[in-house]
C-alpha cells in the first residue's frame, strides 16, 4: 500500500512487519517536503538530520525486538509556537526570529516518549493571532487543495502539511478556533480538547485561559491516537487536569443510536451561507438516519460570544506578551539611547500590525478607567455563556454547529470586521466555555472544497465526540479525509 494513503495505525503495522523502515518512511516525507513546500510554505524550519537520526533509533529498537509505542517512527510536524529544545521556535514573529528554546513543550516531550520523528516546525499567523496564516514573518501558507486560497489559521502550516502529505500528522494550538478552522479549510479532522486535558507548558502563550494544543489528522482514528499520546496530567502546569485518560478511540464503531444531538437553527439562518447551512442540515440528517435524535436548541447571548472573546483574549494577549520587550525575551532594536527606547523601538519593530492592535486594545480594556466597564463585564458574559452551554448539555449529549460559515477565502482577500466576526462566530464558543470541540469534514462540497461541521460536548467527552464524528464521516473512523 502507498505510504501516502496509510493511516497512522497502518503505518505502525507496516513498520513492525518490515514493509519499510522508519528511515525509509522519514525519507519519503522529507522528499515530499522538498517537492511541495516551496509552493505551499507550510514549514518554517525542516529538521532533516534530526528526523533521520530519530528514525534510525526507531529502526534499531525494532531490530532488537523492543515493544514500541503506537506512534514510534511516524513523522510529524509541530506548530512553531510549540517549544522544541535546541530547535528554532519563532512563532512566525520578528520578535522571536532567533529564539532557540532551552526546553521542550510538554506535548513534544510526550511525543518523544512515543519515539515520534519530528520533520520540522510549521508556519502560523504571527504569534498565533489570526485566521488565515497570512501574517507570518515568513510569508503566507497556501492551501494544498487550492493554492489560490488560504489554509485557515492560525495553525495553517500544520493543516497544510498534513493535507499535502508532507507530515503524517501535526499539532496545532487553538485559542479561538486555530486548530478547527484550518482543519475545516483543508478537509482534515481537528480536535480542540477540554481545557486542561493537554498541558500547555512550553507553548508560547497567547490567551492563557483559552489556549489549547490539539491534533490535526486525516482520520478520526488517527486523531484519537494522537490525543491519547499527548493528553495527561502535568504537575508543572497549574491548569492541567489530574484525571485518568480513557481510550479515545473506544467508541469509534459504536454508532450514535439514542444520542441526543442539539442544533441551533436560528444562527444557521443569520450567520451561515445557504450552501454551508445545507451541509450542516445534511450532517444532522445523517446522524438522525444513524439513530440519533435531533433536538432544536435556542441558546441566549450567542451574539455576545465573539465580542466577549475578542475583549478577553486581547486583555490576555497584552498581559502574556508583556515579557517580549527586548530585555526579558525577544528582538532588541539597535536604535536606542535609554531603556525606554529599547522597550518602544523593540516592540514597534518586532511586532506586526495585528499583534500591536490586540495589545493596544488589551491595555485599554485593562486600564483603570475601563476595567469594570469592559473586562469585568466581559467575564460576566463569559460565565453566562458557559452556563447556557451547561444547560443545553443537560438536554442533549452533543451540539452540532458549523465550523466555518462560508467557502475558504482567496489569499489576500480583504476582510471587513463583519467577516471576521462571522468567521469566528462558532469557533469561539468552545474556548469561552472550556468545552471540547471536534471539526470533521462532511461529504458536502462547495466550489469543489470540503465543508466541515463541529461537535461540542461536555467537559472530557472527547471519546463521545469521536464516536459521533464517525457517523458524520461514515464508518468507524479509519477513513481518511479529502
Separate counts of helices (H) and strands (E) for the chain: 16, 11
Q: 9 burial class (0-12, 13-18, 19+ CB within 10 angstroms)?
A: middle
Residue where the block lists cell 475558504? 408
Give me the residues paired with residue 324 across strands: 329
Would you call 410 helix, strand, or coil by DSSP?
strand
CA angle 443, 448, 451 (to 5 degrees): 40
Instruction: Identify whether 154 is a catalytic site residue.
Output: yes
Task: With both helix axes pointing from N to C terminus, report the angle between 353-366 and 305-320 in degrees, rounded to the nearest 10.
Answer: 100
Indicate which residue of 104, 154, 199, 219 is catalytic. 154
Task: With both helix axes pointing from N to C terminus, report the angle between 220-230 and 462-473 in degrees, rounded to the nearest 10.
Answer: 160
Q: What is the largest CA-CA distance in the chain?
A: 71
Q: Among 68, 426, 384, which residue's Cα sits nearest to residue 272?
A: 426
b/e burial code for range 436-454 (CB count within 10 A of at least 16 → b): bbbbbbbebebeebbbbbb
Instruction: Identify whether 79 is a catalytic site residue.
Output: yes
> The sheet that has 43-46: what strands, in order across it?
43-46, 117-122, 75-79, 169-174, 212-217, 189-192, 437-446, 449-456, 398-402, 260-263, 293-296
For residues 132 and 140, is the Cβ–Cβ distance under 8 A?
yes
Indicate which residue of 178, 219, 313, 444 is catalytic. 178
Q: Among 203, 238, 208, which residue's Cα sits nearest to residue 317?
A: 208
Strands (E), 278-343: 293-296
What span, in angstroms and rounded, lies between the C-alpha atoms of 440 and 338? 53
Instruction: Identify whether 452 is a catalytic site residue.
Output: no
Would you call 236 helix, strand, or coil by DSSP?
coil
* Dihedral-angle region of residue 206 (phi above 0 means left; psi in -120 to 50 means alpha; beta otherwise): alpha
Show the cell assigned to 422.
Answer: 462571522
- Give CA 64 to chain center in angstroms: 36
- Give CA 311 to chain center in angstroms: 21
For residue 308, what are the contacts with CB-CB under 8 A and spacing of at least 6?
A: 378, 381, 382, 385, 432
Catalytic residues, which ones? 79, 154, 178
Amino acid at each position: 500500500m502507498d505510504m501516502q494513503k496509510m493511516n497512522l495505525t497502518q503505518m505502525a503495522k507496516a513498520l513492525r512487519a518490515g514493509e519499510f523502515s522508519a528511515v525509509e518512511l522519514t525519507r519519503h516525507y522529507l522528499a515530499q517536503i522538498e517537492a511541495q513546500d516551496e509552493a505551499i510554505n507550510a514549514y518554517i524550519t525542516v529538521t532533516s538530520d534530526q528526523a533521520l537520526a530519530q528514525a534510525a533509533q526507531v529502526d534499531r529498537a525494532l531490530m532488537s525486538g523492543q515493544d514500541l509505542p503506537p506512534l514510534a517512527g511516524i513523522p510529524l510536524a509541530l506548530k512553531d509556537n510549540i517549544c522544541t529544545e535546541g530547535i528554532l521556535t519563532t512563532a512566525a514573529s520578528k520578535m522571536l526570529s532567533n529564539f532557540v528554546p532551552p526546553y521542550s513543550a510538554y506535548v513534544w516531550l510526550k511525543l518523544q516518549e512515543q519515539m515520534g520523528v519530528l520533520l520540522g516546525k510549521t508556519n502560523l499567523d504571527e504569534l498565533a493571532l489570526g485566521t488565515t496564516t497570512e501574517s507570518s514573518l515568513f510569508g503566507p501558507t497556501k492551501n494544498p487543495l487550492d493554492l489560490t486560497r488560504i489554509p485557515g489559521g492560525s495553525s495553517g502550516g500544520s493543516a497544510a502539511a498534513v493535507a499535502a502529505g508532507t507530515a503524517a500528522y501535526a499539532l496545532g494550538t487553538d485559542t479561538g478556533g486555530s486548530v478547527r478552522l484550518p482543519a475545516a479549510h483543508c478537509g482534515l479532522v481537528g480536535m480542540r480538547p477540554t481545557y486542561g486535558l493537554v498541558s500547555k507548558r512550553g507553548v508560547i502563550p497567547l490567551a492563557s485561559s483559552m489556549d489549547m494544543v490539539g491534533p490535526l489528522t486525516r482520520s478520526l482514528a488517527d486523531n484519537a491516537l494522537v490525543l491519547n499520546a499527548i493528553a495527561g496530567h502535568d504537575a508543572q502546569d497549574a491548569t492541567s487536569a489530574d484525571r485518568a485518560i480513557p481510550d479515545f478511540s473506544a467508541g469509534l464503531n459504536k454508532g450514535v443510536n439514542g444520542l441526543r444531538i442539539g442544533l441551533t437553527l436560528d444562527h444557521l439562518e443569520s450567520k451561515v451561507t445557504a450552501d454551508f447551512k445545507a451541509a450542516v442540515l445534511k450532517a444532522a440528517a445523517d446522524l438522525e438516519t444513524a439513530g440519533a435524535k435531533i433536538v432544536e436548541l435556542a441558546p441566549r447571548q450567542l451574539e455576545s460570544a465573539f465580542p466577549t472573546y475578542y475583549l478577553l483574549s486581547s486583555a490576555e494577549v497584552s498581559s502574556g506578551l508583556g515579557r517580549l520587550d527586548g530585555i526579558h525575551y525577544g528582538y532588541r532594536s539597535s536604535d536606542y539611547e535609554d531603556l525606554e527606547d529599547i522597550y518602544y523601538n523593540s516592540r514597534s519593530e518586532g511586532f506586526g500590525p495585528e499583534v500591536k492592535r490586540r495589545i493596544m486594545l488589551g491595555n485599554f480594556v485593562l486600564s483603570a478607567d475601563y476595567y469594570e466597564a469592559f473586562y469585568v463585564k466581559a467575564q460576566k458574559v463569559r460565565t453566562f455563556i458557559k452556563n447556557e452551554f451547561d444547560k443545553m448539555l443537560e438536554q442533549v449529549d452533543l451540539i452540532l454547529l458549523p465550523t466555518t460559515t462560508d467557502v475558504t477565502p482567496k489569499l489576500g482577500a480583504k476582510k471587513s470586521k463583519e467577516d471576521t466576526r462571522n468567521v469566528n462566530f462558532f469557533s469561539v464558543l468552545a474556548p469561552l466555555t472550556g468545552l471540547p470541540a471536534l471539526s470533521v469534514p462532511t461529504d458536502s462540497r462547495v466550489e469543489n472544497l470540503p465543508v466541515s461541521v463541529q461537535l461540542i460536548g461536555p467537559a472530557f467527552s472527547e471519546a463521545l465526540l469521536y464516536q459521533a464524528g464517525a457517523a458524520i464521516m461514515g464508518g468507524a473512523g479509519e477513513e481518511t479525509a479529502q
